[in-house]
Amino acid sequence: MKKNLGVVPAVFPMPVLMVAAYDENGKVNAMNAAWGMICNMDRIALFIDEEHKTTQNILKSKAFTVSLADRAHMDVADFFGIATGNKMPDKFERTGYTAIKSDFVNAPIIDEFPVAMECELAEVVETESFYCIVGKIINTAAEERVLSVNGKIDPSKLEALTFDQFQHGYYVSGEQVGKAWNAGAGLMKK
């Protein structure tokens, strides 16, 4: 029997996304965003607050990157979530991480994270319920060490962090337990 818990955002896992953009002076700012998702084959939606320094930079520069945080860089990923660029002007510099300018958009790629989507600002969606930055993915770059033999990102090598909203923990994903469009195929024959 289930126990009623009230209003709980009960979606698990949530991604741990590192969003980065340049300010008007070319300075890097980055934040941790768990409320984001792919919303089309070439679009990513980030449900982030308009007041974030990174959001303001995206609106000005019209570009950003979204990197996948991994186990090896959990400390900095978490720091990007607890520190605000609005109050800490040297937030990115404190990490000692390296930012490389994207060849495709006017945004920084954080070199330490293994996968980065390079995005142009496609639209901003604002309703009474949410504020959303939608990016058009222009390119995705990945470290060779996280690629499979077929040249695609291998989740078992990536060790991507996921976030749980229940206990506020980070977890590592990667174990394949089935094959999509196959696991339920037997039920199609009934």
pLDDT (tens digit per residue) in 61-78 = 999 999 999 999 999 999
User: What is the reported pLDDT for 55?
Assistant: 97
User: What is the reported pLDDT for 190?
Assistant: 73
14-189: CATH architecture: Roll (2.30)
Sites in the chain below the pLDDT cut of 50: none
Q: Say what the pTM is.
A: 0.94
User: What is the reported pLDDT for 52?
Assistant: 95
User: What is the reported pLDDT for 188?
Assistant: 87
- Find, among 77, 100, 71, the residue nearest to 30 by Cα: 77
Other beta carbons within 10 angstroms of residue 187's beta carbon come to 7
User: What is the reported pLDDT for 37?
Assistant: 97
User: What is the reported pLDDT for 186?
Assistant: 87
User: What is the reported pLDDT for 134?
Assistant: 98
User: What is the reported pLDDT for 173?
Assistant: 86
Amino acid at 120: E
Other beta carbons within 10 angstroms of residue 136's beta carbon come to 17
Q: In the chain, which ranges are continuous DSSP H helix?
A: 53-61, 74-82, 91-95, 155-158
Enclosing H/E stretch for 131: strand 131-142
